[in-house]
Amino acid sequence: MTPTREMLRRDAAYDRWGEVGHRSAIGAAAEAMLRAELGESESPGSVPLAAVRIATPEPLPEAVLAAAGGEDAVSTAAEDRVRHAFGKGYPDLIRMRRGVVEEAPDAIVAPADRDRVAAVLEACATAGVAVVPFGGGTSVVGGVAPVRGRFDRLIALDLTALRGAAVDPISMTARLGPGLRGPEAEAALSSEGFTLGHFPQSYRYATIGGYAATRSAGQASSGYGRFDALATALELTSPAGSLRTLETPHSAAGPSLRELVLGSEGVLGVITDVTVRIRPAPERRRYEGWFAPGFADGIEIVRGLAQGGALPDVVRLSDREETRVSLAMSGLSGAKRHGLDAYLRARGRRDGCMLIVGWEGGREDVERRRQLSRRLLRAGRAVPLGASPGRSWAHGRYEGPHLRDVLIDRGILVETLETSHVYGRLDDLHAAVAAALRRTMDAAGRPGIVMCHVSHVYRDGASLYFTFLTPARRGAEIEQWGELKRAACEAIVAEGGTITHHHAVGRDHLPYMRSEVGELGIEAIRAVKERLDPAGIMNPGKLVEA
Q: How many CB atoms within 10 Å of residue 334?
A: 7
Output DSSP code: residue 171: T
Read off the pLDDT of each residue in 519-532 and give the average, rounded to a whole number: 97
* Closest by CA position to 183, among listed 196, 192, 172, 167: 196
pLDDT of residue 11: 62
* Contact between residue 220 and residue 314 where contact means Cβ atoms under 8 Å apart: yes
Question: Taking the model in full, what pTM does it have?
Answer: 0.95
Report pLDDT digits (tens) over 317-332.
999 999 999 988 877 7
- Structure confidence by residue, pLDDT tens digits, 426-443: 999 999 999 999 999 999
Burial 35-53 (b: 16+ CB within 10 A, else e): eeebeebeebebeebeebe
Give the mean model confidence (pLDDT) for residues 29-38.
Answer: 91
Give 465-496 pLDDT, tens digit per residue.
Answer: 999 999 999 999 999 999 999 999 999 999 99
Separation CA 542–CA 142 (nearest Å): 8
Going by pLDDT thresholds of 50, 70 and 90, the confidence category of residue 345 is confident
Instruction: Sheet containing 173-176: give its strands across.
Output: 165-168, 173-176, 270-277, 231-238, 241-244
CB 125 within 8 A of CB 242: no
Separation between Cα atoms, residue 430 and residue 368, nearest integer Å? 33
The mean pLDDT of 367-371, rounded to a whole number, is 97
CB 47 within 8 A of CB 103: no
Per-residue pLDDT tens for 175-204? 999 999 999 999 999 999 999 999 999 999
Kindly report, residue by residue over 221-239, the tens digit of the pLDDT.
Answer: 999 999 999 999 999 999 9
Amino acid at 436: A
Q: What is the pLDDT of residue 5?
A: 43
Q: Is the dihedral of CA 533, 534, 540, 546 positive or negative?
A: positive
